[in-house]
A and B are shown apart, each in its own frame.
Chain A
Amino acid sequence: MAEQVISAPRSLPVGPVESHGVGWNGMACLIASEAALFGYLLFSYYYLGASNPRGWLMEPHPDLHLALPNTLLLLASSVAAWWGERGVRQESKGQALAGLALALVMGTVFATVQVYEWHAKTYAPGTSSYASLYFITTGLHMAHVVIGLAVLAMLILWIAFGYFSPLRRLPVSNGVLYWHFVDAVWLFVFTTYYLTPLLGFAR
């Protein structure tokens, strides 16, 4: 192999092509680190839940009426973002803009509903360790949603400028990947705060 590098060099892609490029590896590192952050947050929840006496849960029977549809909405926004990225891959600017804009709107609705949920709570971050964990975990997730929405907004702007082509589109792939992460990690937060009490954890 080694000799062929010099004697018979192959043609190589120049710069990031499609979703390949060191930028993709960098995004993977960012996501690994952020995923770990949520891992430690959820560890804190389970640790405090397991080490406190019964009655620690402020909501032993979480209300799913808003949270479940909102979760499905966030997941659907990932599909919309994927469809938008496909638009870039197929050189369909309309589909790209429509998909990402749809994801942006759905993400914004998710955030709005979440803010409403916060306001509807009967407790505040300072009420108890459960309340602190609930608000800080969902709050840090919200921070990631807001960053993800900003990323989607920038991508829409850049696509509108005609920056990308099926070959040159690494920023789109990376941005959409980040949005998928924001959605996927919510599943863990949602399961922890809304489903595990129903399954009996710490109840």
Chain B
Amino acid sequence: MTPARSQRMIADTPEIGEVTQALRDRLEAIWETKPGFVGWLASVDHKEIGLRYIVTAFLLLAIGGVEALVMRLQLIGPDRHLLTPEQYNQFFSTHGMTMIFLYASPILSGFSNYLFPLFLGSRDMAFPRMNALSYWVYLASALFLYAGFVVGAGPNDGWFNYVPYASREYNPGLNMDIYALGMILLGISTSVGAANFIVTVFRCRAPGMSINRMPVIIWGTLTASVANLVVIPAVSLAFFLLWLDRQFGTHFFDPAGGGQPLLWQHLFWMFGHPWVYAIVLPAMGMVSDGLPVFCRHPLVGYTAVALATVATMVLGFGVWVHHMFATGLPGLSLSFFSGASILIAIPSAVAIFAWIATIWLGRPILTTAFLFFASMILLFVIGGVSGFMTASVPVDWQLTDTYFIVAHIHYVLIGINVFPVVGATYFWFPKMTGRLMDERLGRWNFWTMFAGFNIAFLPMHLTGLMGMPRRVYTYPAGMGFTTLNLITTIGSFLFAAGVLMFFWNVVKSWRGGAEAGPDPWKGPTLEWAIPSPPPPYNFAVIPTIATRHPLWEDDLDEGRARSTLDRGMTLAHGKEALATTSLDGEPDMILKMPEDTLAPLMLTLALTLLFAAMLGKLWWLAAIGSGAVLAALIFWTWPRRQLLEREAAVHG
């Protein structure tokens, strides 16, 4: 090795260049996913992984939706017996599990995975292989969790799975064991993904993108990821302890042995409430970034919205007991958590006023995406107010476990997750596929979903106020619930028809939508500066950022500072990306990025084998599974020359 080449291995002054076809060809050869089925399995391209996440999560949304429709048919009138009580229990539990764990969070991970490097001006995520791992483990855990439901052993105790009903004494089948182990497996996926988002935000931004210039969705996903990283262990631990209680006779939740059923509720909601924010904050970020584009006006109060995002999560760690107001806790505890839950309305309101002000000051263009984003504000207010109401202890005592809570959670999760996500699909679909979605069908799509949703869930508040308890498989005539339930069922089918139109629009537009070009909406952020769909390397040269809206600088004319998008570091000595400093975004290091590899898939298969063996208590198989996990990890972490993790091998 020549001294010059050896020197290049340690430090180098990056070449600065223009975007040329020769450079593009060179980068294409370096970054493209290899053809064929094995190449597909081995891909670590964040765009590929993001799309897989999005497609899988939407499929699960459809499955969870069908479960909901079956339940609505059951409840269409009094004394219906389409489902037995046990089947009904499994349906509502699986519906909750699917929507909350397998759709709401993964869909946001999908969008963030696809968009993060594009927003940040990076070539990929910080850990491309971990990115692939988080998707494969998500897929494996979804199959694992659904395996029980398919054979009639799905979870049957609601998504939050309270003991003692989840204990073996009352639930002797495999239902809860599958749910417990599947959730631990899913937790691995979420944690790995969260770590990847955090490190990507802090280390992989374009030079000049200081943290006050990041798009708001980055703030949302960053905040959610930090929360996930520290709260997922709570739920994984809770499910692990439950499995031990059920299968090995420990006494964590069993009062007879000095355990506490409330320990389950504490551990679950210490996770559960931050998690609720984790599945809405990135979606709120979608609105904060998408809405201004259609208002032709920058988001009003960027700093306030970013800080409100963080404040929501900080407060969100201290409100979990409001799910437990009716469990007989001391008055002081109730007062504290009630106060914290009421306080959290303030940062939420900051975001709402910022969006309203943005529409007010801008010149709104009523695209389908705009309709979805703007309607979210209304739905958020309704869901927020019903949440604010139940933050008050006396009100909660009246309403807990009624349909009022069901209405609240659906306004929050459909209103602040599904509506922004569908809007985001209309908004970023052209970037992902190079084609526009059909606007005419889009209007039908929006108004059907909007009308159906409100017809289904607005009356449900009343159903709850009249006292109908949630999670009952039927109700007798003459209770005053009949008409309201009929309306809800009609609304839910209308809503489902709207969702179908959305899926149809995606399929139709993917095949033959109008050509979008790189920037159909005249957006302000970096993803609109590159072709649609983006090339495997995203940016031919690393952009240099001078403002919060690199593509709107001339229109806004806020100062002399201009970003440079067509000239910059070329980083074409192999698969390379730029690392920057955490706060100021100054160039810090040239990263060697890993090639496509089957290691993430292998590790996933090994983990799945291990968990299946634990479920069946096949300890010899669990030993094989553990060995396979160890082997996959050693293969993965073995220091590689290509990644400059070690010097040239000098054996001996």
Contact = CB atoms under 8 A, between A and B. Distances in A.
Contacts, number: 208
Contact of A12 (B13, B191, B236): B13
A36 B234 contact: yes
A2 B234 contact: no
B589 A12 contact: yes
Contacts of B646: 158, 163-164, 168, 171
Nearest to B541: A6
Contacts of B589: 12-17, 20-21
Contacts of B203: 22, 25
Contacts of B561: 2
Interface stretch (A48-56, A112-120, A190-198): A48-56
Interface stretch (A77-85, A123-131, A179-187): A123-131
Q: Which of B251, B545, B569 has the most CB of A within 10 A?
A: B251
B591 A22 contact: yes
Nearest to B542: A5
Interface string A50-70: 011000100000000000000
Interface stretch (B277-285, B501-509, B637-645): B637-645
Nearest to B249: A126
Contacts of A33: 191, 195, 229-230, 232-233
B594 to A, nearest CB: 11
A11 B16 CA distance: 12
A1 interface: yes
B266 interface: yes
Interface string A36-54: 1101110110011001100
Interface in A151-194: 154, 158, 161-165, 167-168, 170-171
B207 interface: yes
Nearest to B198: A29
Contact of A48 (B12, B258, B564, B568): B258
The DSSP consensus for interface residues of chain B is: mixed
A5 B241 contact: no
Contacts of B564: 2-3, 6
Nearest to B267: A40
Given A14-B9, A14-B590, A164-B646, A128 B546 contact: no
B413 to A, nearest CB: 25
A63 to B, nearest CB: 21
Interface string B243-282: 0100011111010011110110011001000000000000
Nearest to A55: B258
B233 A37 contact: yes
Nearest to A30: B195
B14 A161 contact: no
Contacts of A34: 233
A132 interface: yes
B651 interface: yes
Name the interface size band of chain B: 35 or more
Contacts of A32: 229-230
Nearest to B584: A1
B634 interface: yes
Nearest to B225: A29
A11 to B, nearest CB: 5
Nearest to A34: B233
A150 interface: yes
A153 to B, nearest CB: 10
B258 A56 contact: yes
A158 B650 CA distance: 11
A133 B252 contact: yes
A132 B244 contact: yes
A6 B16 CA distance: 6
Contact of B11 (A13, A20, A125, A136): A13
Contacts of A48: 252, 258-260, 263
Contact of A132 (B198, B229, B250, B546): B250
Contacts of A171: 637, 639, 645-646
B511 interface: no
Contact of B592 (A3, A14, A47, A154): A14
Contacts of B630: 150
Interface in B554-600: 561, 563-564, 567-569, 579, 584, 586-592
A15 B126 CA distance: 12
Given A6-B564, A12-B13, A132-B259, A36 B230 contact: yes
Given A52-B258, A126-B248, A126-B251, A22 B127 contact: yes
A168 B634 CA distance: 19
Contacts of A1: 207-208, 584, 586
Given A48-B259, A161-B649, A12 B588 contact: yes
A129 B254 CA distance: 8
A2 B563 contact: yes
Contact of A154 (B579, B634, B649): B634
A5 B258 contact: no
B8 interface: yes
Contacts of A165: 647
Contacts of A127: 257
A3 B207 CA distance: 10
A1 B586 CA distance: 8
Interface string B113-144: 00000000000001100100000000000000
Nearest to B251: A129
B650 A129 contact: no
B307 interface: no
Contacts of A36: 229-231, 233-234
A9 B569 contact: yes
19 contacts: A1-B584, A11-B13, A12-B13, A13-B10, A14-B10, A14-B11, A15-B644, A32-B230, A33-B195, A33-B229, A125-B248, A132-B244, A132-B257, A136-B250, A162-B651, A163-B647, A168-B644, A170-B645, A171-B637
Given A29-B199, A33-B232, 12 more contacts: A1-B586, A2-B563, A5-B587, A6-B564, A12-B588, A15-B9, A15-B589, A30-B195, A36-B229, A40-B233, A126-B248, A171-B639
10 A-B pairs with least C-beta separation: A15-B644, A29-B195, A132-B250, A37-B233, A129-B258, A163-B646, A126-B249, A2-B208, A162-B650, A36-B230
